[in-house]
Structure 1
Amino acid sequence: MIETVERKQWLRALMLMVFFLGSASVVGILFDLIGFPETNIVIIYLFSVILISRFTLGYAYGITASITATLLFNYLFTVPYYTLTVDNPSYFITFGVMVTTAVITSALTIRTNQNKQHAEEREKEAKALYSLTSRLTDAVDISQIISISIHIISEVLDCQAACVPFDHKGEPAPFFLQEVGANKQVKIELKEPQELKDQILNLRNGYDASSEDFHDWPIYGQDHILGVMRIPTENARALDHTHKRLLLSMIENTALAMERVYLAEERLKSREETTQERHRGNLLRGISHDLRTPLSGIMATSEMLKEMTDSEDSRYSMMEAINNDAIWLHSLVENVLSLTKLQDGRLILKKEKEALEEIIDEAVRQIKKRSPNQRITVSMPNELILIPMDSKLIMQVFINLLENAIKHNPSAAPVDIEVQKDSEAKEVTVSISDQGQGIDENDLENIFQPFYTSSSKHADAYNRTGLGLAICDSVIKAHGGQIEARNKKDKGAELIFTLPLEGEPNGKAE
């Protein structure tokens, strides 16, 4: 197709050269018969060269016309006539001036013509981009963007453009939308979506021409591919540099519009999730506040009834079970309240320098109330370790981690607490480990997520609510420390967290 177009352009240029030079020769003969001077005939030939340069493309035609005009002038109007020989040497100067003038004039005319053509192309390109951009601005979803884009591209390139959309995960749709007529678009099944994806992903720049029916241009977003613009092979091969540049510009505008829609969808989804999270937090907070008072009463009453009942009495175990469950529920309520405050950013850290040993002793004492038979070993430096902390929150961290360890620990095995001070790093590392079966590898990355529970029995701590470790994570990070979980080499799991020896001023927990 390209060769056919070039052949037509060459034939048109040849016909123009024959017409204008022939006309100039006829007029020159008339001028010679009338007796006009030769300079007038030279001007006629120069004018014909200008016209040829004006209506043809490229310097070759203008230069060829200049030389041909000089030869015609020599053949028809210099002695001896009808030959290319010259008797008068002064004619060589005339021929030289004539060729030089014709070439320069032709070059200037061609340059002007090319500038005009480039200006028209830029104007056409600007109009096409403006039309595309203005219509894409009003598009509200991906399907509209694709429809508008292939319609405009089909009009500008005079082809039947098509587009394959990709989803958020970068997977191609099983179809492509193609313009098949004036304001008519159809969905066509895409036979090998995965093959198309692989070809596009391996494409670093340019386009893919492996298909017999289409040349494919990728539509890239910031993070992943958004789609593929398809131009029929015959039309794609006929595209010159200008039209390819225009096509790339329109594809970039399409990508920007698609990115805008995806970002708007993500913002809407994020806003909905935020609203749902706020409602959930308000609900949990309200329920937790309502449960606090009756739970405190149940705990106190059950504890009092235990003390009033002989341990051999059959009712004693029932009261003990009620007391333990009430304690667990109260701990759960405190965890829910702390979590909602942390997530809302309303929890104020009240930091004071506290002795870490006292915090650990108090946490162990409270755990012993609930699990009196559990052995807990503590290993820490002999020196007094003072840490700026919110003692209530750090106490809750120790209790949650100890409950988690006891939950997974064999009844006869101890739970170990180990404290190490790193003076150079200016932090304290605390390790709480058990001798259970460890944590499933699939759960290690997720156990600090709120409400995360595993299908295995080694999930989050107490009664598997999925809150205890999430609160520990938030509290430790609010204090400027880090927390992680890992399995020990021999047996069991180990939860390790750090606390800085020099803390930030009091403020909101992030």
Structure 2
Amino acid sequence: MIVKTLQKNPRIKADTTWRDAFMSVFILGVCSLIGLLFHSLRLSEANIISIYIIGILLISSIASSWAYGVMASVSGVLLFNFLYADPTFNFRVYDLQYSITTTVMLVASLIANYVMTLFRSQLDREILEIHRLDILLETSQHLQQAQNIDDIFTVALTQLHQMFARAVFIFPLADGALQRPRSKVAEGNPNLSPEAIGLDIAALEEFVATDNEKKSTVLHLNADNKAICFKLISGEAVVAAICIIVNSAKRTGGFEYNLVLAMLDEIALSVEKYNLQVFNERIAQEAEAERLRANLLRSISHDLRTPLTSISGNADILLSSADQIEPELRRQLYQNIYSDAEWLMNLVENLLFVTRIDNGVMTINTEYEVLQEIIQESLRYMAKRAKDHTIHLEMPEEILLVKMDARLIMQVIINIVDNAVKYTPAGSDIRIRALRRGSRAVVEVADTGNGISDDEKQKVFEMFYTTNKNSSDSRRGIGLGLPLCRSIVRAHGGEVRIADNVPHGAIVSFSLQLEEVCVESEYLGG
């Protein structure tokens, strides 16, 4: 089967043939008219012969085949004999001088045609080589913009196809086996497959698997076409096989072969650079993960010591001399143990959430919830923790229905309120407000503390980052609260923001997508 993709377009070939024939006849006709003019002016026959030779050179320079030059040479001699040699208007020649003249004219015309054909062939070859070198330079520029392996292979296909105007196949290699090929063929056959052209995949796999220095091989497809296949080697590993389909009769010159090898070297270098980039990114991620783990262990070992020491000391006092302690002081010791234990439970809860997010195993079970109820439930949990602060709650009368994981959003509210309590002195006001803003529900927690500087507004969302401000209860956080809040809210399609509270303090807010309430109801919360 002859693959249409691998053949020249017959219509273009026919158009070229008719164009060359027409131009040859036209040029010879013009030369004949000029010759008749010269003949009428009794100019020498050498001038007329020169006109024909110029016309033959012109035909040889524009025609697609040398045969037109040969036919033009013979036709020119016959026209000269017919129009100017006595007796005119017939092809008989009685004068030996005319016979010699026409013979010399034929030889000169053939030589001129041969020289012009060689010149044109050399010029075409030089132009093609320059064009291919431009494509090679362009390939290097495109490869620099490639973002991944797919982009690199796309550039390789496009540039090889543009360079040789032939069907090109790239077979990526994974786990030692050739994968589904990528191809670049003629527009008329976009779905052309290697099987359709008779490409021997088993032979190609054998060539790729051979551990030798052989860079290319030829696989014969049919009587008309063959595949020249190359290994794409990055580092010491074969990453793909590239096959260029050419005519069986075509001999690939050294320049073309070396050009392909040069392009493959560029492609292999890009693959190697990409693999090195991926490796460096993985190393950087592992180093960052190790840094975070080290920070976590350091923070936990430092920050657990204070509450554990307090719990241990208070418990020891109660165990050794509980009967001798006044009831009010004894109650205070119990309260301290409870507060420290509650703080530790909140820390452990945050650590568990961070671990689940980091491992990608945290599941979000969303249900339709009334936001006002979630806020009130969170504040009931924080009641003892925030007993020394004044909480102002502002909520709208309309129901704010949100599709959320109630347990996770409660953790967000608890973390934000806990930060407000931690970094503001006892007796401070904390305002919690829920409101509708367009199609989103917004929760704001505003405190009257020292606020957060502009430089720290983004840093506080980094894992394990803590501010230098002292907390009101002397406990230093380990920098998990706000990063965890952002992860949870973003998983719900929302965002966490920090703004300044005028005249002083900070406002931490987050937004969630509102859902439509299908029934008329009134929120009756206290």
| TM-score between the two structures when normalised by the length of structure 1 | 0.46
| TM-score between the two structures when normalised by the length of structure 2 | 0.45
